Amino acid sequence: MLGLLAITDGHETVVLQPSRPASLLAALLLHPGAVVGSELLQRVVWGDRPPAGGRSALHTCVLRLRRLFGKYGIADHAIEAVPGGYRLHADTGTLDLLRFRELLARSYAADDPESALRLARAALGLWDEPLLANVQSDEIHRDLVPRLAEERLLAVERVFDGELRLGRHRELIPEAREAVRAHPGHEGLSALLVEALYRCGRRAEALAEYRRIHAHLTEELGVEPGPLLRDLQLAVLRGESPDGQTGTTAPGAPAAAPLSGGLPPALPVGSGGTGEPPPGLGRGSAGAPGALVLSSLVDAGLLQEDSSGRYRVHDLLRLFVQAAGASLPCTPAVPHEPADLSDPAAGRPSP
C-alpha cells in the first residue's frame, strides 16, 4: 500500500495495473479489518456515476478481485461479504500499512532513544512514493491518500526528533531541509529544522527559517505560527536551550542561558552562524561602518527596511531587548510599538 499498489510473497512483487478491482482493493486495504460500505466502494470504483444496478456491479467487481487473489495464491475468503458492504482481513504480516503503524507505535513506546530512532527509521523505510499512483480513483486520492500522507509525516517528525535527541544536529539538517522544501507550510518540520540549525550554532539561519515559515503562514494561509514555533523563536533569541529536548548542544552552538533570568548571549551579527562579529564589528570597535551594522541587523532579522530606505525595529529585536533589559539596572524602557529609527526627511540614518 505504501507506494504503488502491489502483491508480493516476499520474493517477487507484482505491481497491479490500473483497474476497477485494483481501486476496490485499495479501498478495502485502507480500512483493514473494518466494514467498508457498498456506497463508498461504488464511489471509489465508478466515481459519482455508478452503473445501473450498482450493487450487482460491485459484486461482480469483488468476484474479479477474488480471481486476481487466486492467481497469486491468496485465499478468496480474505474478502468477506457482510451486511452493508465488504471487509478484508489483514495483519502486520500481510499489509505494510499495518506493519508501519506497529513500528511507529513501538517507536513511541520505546525508552531507549537509539531503539526509538531505529524503529521510526524502519517504519519510514516502508514508504515509496508516488503513493498509489496506479490506483485510478478520485475518491481515494481526494479523501484517503491525504490521510496516509499525514501518517508518513508523523514518522518523518519522529525520525527527526530522534536524531535531535541523540545530538545528531548537523547530520539532520540536509534531510530536514529537503522535507521542508516538500512541505513548506508544515510547522512541525520547520520547527525541527530551526532547532537543528540553532543547536549547530547557526542562529541566523535558524531565524531565517522562522521568518520563512512565518511569511508562508501569514501570506498564504492568513494564520500565525503556533505556540511551538513561537516559543522556539523566543528561545533562539534568548540563547536558551529549547524546552523538552534532551539532545546536547553541538560544539560552537550558543550556550544555554538559565530560564529564570540572566542576560542572554549577544545575537550574532554576521551570517556565518559562529557567533563572532565580522571584521570591523568587534565589541571594542566603536568606529564600525554604520552601513555594515545596519545591513547585519537586517540580515539577522532584527530590523525591517521598507521601500523608502527607512528602518523599523522588528518584533524580534523588541522581544530580545525586553528579555535582556529585565536583568539590567537602569535600562531605558522599550517602546511598546516598533520605533521608527529614521528621520523621514533624512532617508537612511547613520548609527
CA 212, CA 215: separation in Å to the nearest integer? 5
* Predicted pLDDT at 301: 56
- CA 294-300-301 angle, to 5 degrees, is 90
* Predicted pLDDT at 214: 96
CATH architecture of 1-148: Orthogonal Bundle (1.10)
Q: Where are the domains of the chain?
A: 1-148, 167-242
Q: Is 201 helix (H, G, I), strand (E, B) or coil?
A: coil
CA atoms within 13 A on the CB side of 194: 26
Identity at 131, one-letter amino acid code: L
A 10 A CB-CB count for 111 gives 6
* Predicted pLDDT at 296: 57
* Predicted pLDDT at 286: 37
For the stretch 238-259, pLDDT in tens is 998 875 443 334 434 433 333 2
Positions in the chain whose pLDDT score sits under 70 = 76, 243-351
Decide yes or no: CATH 1.25.40.10 for domain 167-242. yes
* Predicted pLDDT at 341: 37
* Predicted pLDDT at 22: 96
Prediction pTM value: 0.68
| Cα distances (angstroms) measured from residue 311 to each of 292, 314, 323, 335 | 14, 9, 22, 15
Residue partners of 323: CB distance under 8 A and separation at least 6: 234, 237, 238, 264
* Predicted pLDDT at 48: 86
Contacts 24+ apart (CB under 8 A), 42-50: 43/139, 44/137, 44/139, 44/140, 45/20, 45/137, 46/20, 47/137, 47/138, 47/139
* Predicted pLDDT at 285: 35
For the stretch 63-91, pLDDT in tens is 999 999 888 888 767 899 999 999 999 99
Residue partners of 233: CB distance under 8 A and separation at least 6: 194, 207, 210, 225, 316
